[in-house]
Amino acid sequence: MTTQYAVQITAKDRVEINPSMPVPAIGPRQILLQIEACGICFSDTKLMHAFENHPRKSPIRAGITPEELAEIPTYRPGSDPIVPGHEPVARICQVGAEVTRYRVGQRMLVQTDYRHLPTAASNAALGYDFDGALEEYALVDERMVIDPVTDESYLIEVSDEPSASAVALIEPWACVETAYAWPERVGLARHGRLLVVLDDGCVAEGLEELVDAADTSDRVEVAGGAALPNGQVFDDIIYAGADAATVERLGPLLGNRGVMNLLMNGRRFDRDVDIDVGRVHYDLIRYVGTIGAEAGEGYSWTPGTSELRSGDHVAVIGAAGPMGLMHVVRAATSGVPGIQVDAIDVNDDRLARLQDVLGPIAEANGVPTRVLNSTREPLASSYSYVALMVPAPPLVRQAVGLAGPDAIINAFAGFAIGTMAGLDLNHLVTSRIYLVGTSGSRIVDMETVWGRLAAGRVDTNISLDAISGIAGVPAAIESVNNRTSQGKIMVYPALHDLGLIRLVDLPEQLPQVAAAMQDGRWTKQAEQELLQQT
């Protein structure tokens, strides 16, 4: 076991198969994982397009020393070729002499989003700046996979009962879970940096009470059109006024997880305002506000999370894609009373498949659902929850227009940072519409989904559309990139020569494998038959 088959991104838009990639030798703090299966994600295409400019492929800035990084042979920031793949399930096959927390033979669900290892604009992750799981063997280091603050493990032990595909699919389902469960900030950041900008004739009432409650000592005030403090970032920006250009200049001053609180003082914006929706998704920035001047009012209507609420009328835009299906299934099985769901897309074939999957689940859970082609069928005019799957700025604008009072707009789609959308802030503030986005998943959310899978409450395989070995990965990435895939694609790295095969085509290409499926759905028995045949 000295070489292996692997997929590498070697430059922008260049995906190659390496049939003789060295299997990395482990050091004393390291763990070698044998990859059972790994899903393809739309985020892999973003890495392919951006390569060294992707925020997660820039060098790690903290959380681990340069000397420790030098000991990890699979650390490949910048322009170094990288093995993608961040949705794996794996078996531990070797451990270093100083590893005490893990043992050979454990089956692990791998959380790859290392939030404790920041890069310049994001954080490190397996499959971005460490070689990922689209290879037969992947190396991790204890300093990567144990959070030094919480002592949580990024390797989550799972049983042998579910199929490898079902476990690997927990990662994208957990990203959906994070989108609803992520805690939102409902006041000024504690001990944070605050910028207050007051237009002529405008005031910020109740400001001192907010500052005292948050123990904010780092506060900058700008009044009457004075120059803004360029080159600085703030946890909170309170802007009293309604000038679109000012909001656009203030946006870049929001730090990661920053909040802009708009106090309109009875005024109105005279045009749509360009908002960086990429930063809403990746940097978790938020916009709140009030038509009045009370500084605490905007924070007062911020929801604690973006979870569905009793009686919500939910619109999922882009519902027939792989992630959209997960959102509508989660809604239908959420148990939230009184909700109804409109699953919206523009592709009839994909909508038909969605209806086949969603219909029985929604009926069993008593959730009224409609599957709509928005090019032909009118949408409701006042949704209380809009989940957006498609990274197109006009659709963010449409989502704001479709949202009613106190609505949540969940911008789940991964817009690139710097993607601007002109939004009606008058409607957003007046109707108290909360625009939210999240990126990746957390350990706790993966554990939540694993619990549901283990208990039989959800079958993550319902989102699987195709299977592949290493040979089919370039075609799989291209399918995801072009949005021709009707669901998730699962790669089995041990199968070197297997090309991309959709499940609907299995009866013709691999009839014995197809015979082990259930009602056209992938099963553990089908997976075992595949691995035995090929």
Is the pLDDT confidence value at 415 over 90? no
What whole-number distance in Å separates Cα of residue 443 and Cα of residue 166? 17
Non-local CB neighbours of 207 within 8 Å, separated by 6+ positions: 196, 238, 295
What whole-number distance in Å separates Cα of residue 117 and Cα of residue 342? 39
Non-local CB neighbours of 28 within 8 Å, separated by 6+ positions: 96, 97, 98, 99
Taking CA atoms, 490 is separated from 169, 222, 520, in Å, by 8, 53, 16
Is the pLDDT confidence value at 223 over 90? no
Q: In this predicted model, what pLDDT tens digit does every residue of 72-92 receive, in sequence order? A: 999 999 999 999 999 999 999
What whole-number distance in Å separates Cα of residue 379 and Cα of residue 364? 25
Which structural domains are found in the chain, ordered by start? Answer: 3-177+443-495 (3.90.180.10), 193-300 (3.40.50.720), 313-436 (3.40.50.720)
* Rounded average pLDDT over 462-467: 96
CB-neighbour burial class of residue 451 (10 A; exposed 0-12, middle 13-18, buried 19+): exposed
Q: H helices of 112-233, where? A: 142-145, 164-168, 170-181, 207-214
Apex 295 CA angle, 289 and 300, nearest 5: 65
* Rounded average pLDDT over 431-457: 95
Note whether 312 and 385 are within 8 A (CB): yes
Beta pairing class for 369-373 and 107-110: unpaired
Is the pLDDT confidence value at 225 over 80? no
* Rounded average pLDDT over 394-421: 95
User: How much is the pLDDT for 295?
Assistant: 96
Note whether 279 and 260 are within 8 A (CB): no
Is the pLDDT confidence value at 172 over 90? yes
The closest alpha carbon to 311, from 251, 382, 206, belongs to 382
* Rounded average pLDDT over 329-339: 96
Label residues 465-485 b or e (16+ Cβ within 10 Å = b).
Answer: bbbbbbbbbbebbebbbeeeb
What whole-number distance in Å separates Cα of residue 347 and Cα of residue 343? 12
User: How much is the pLDDT for 416?
Assistant: 85
What whole-number distance in Å separates Cα of residue 343 and Cα of residue 328? 7
Question: Looking up tokens 């504690």, which residue turns up?
Answer: 190
Is the pLDDT confidence value at 381 over 90? no
Window from 49-53, 118-122, 270-274, 283-287 with minimum mean pLDDT: 118-122
* Rounded average pLDDT over 287-316: 97
* Rounded average pLDDT over 362-391: 95
The closest alpha carbon to 259, from 382, 435, 128, 419, belongs to 435
What whole-number percentage of the chain has pLDDT above 70? 100
User: How much is the pLDDT for 227?
Assistant: 87
Q: What is the DSSP letter of 191?
A: T
- Would the CA dihedral through 442, 443, 446, 451 be positive or negative? negative
User: How much is the pLDDT for 1?
Assistant: 76
Q: In this predicted model, what pLDDT tens digit does every residue of 47-57 receive, in sequence order? A: 999 999 998 99
Taking CA atoms, 52 is separated from 65, 74, 296, 530, in Å, by 21, 16, 42, 36
User: How much is the pLDDT for 534?
Assistant: 62
Q: In this predicted model, what pLDDT tens digit does every residue of 102-145 receive, in sequence order? A: 999 999 999 999 999 999 888 999 999 999 999 999 999 999 99
Confidence of residue 344 (pLDDT cuts 50, 70, 90): very high
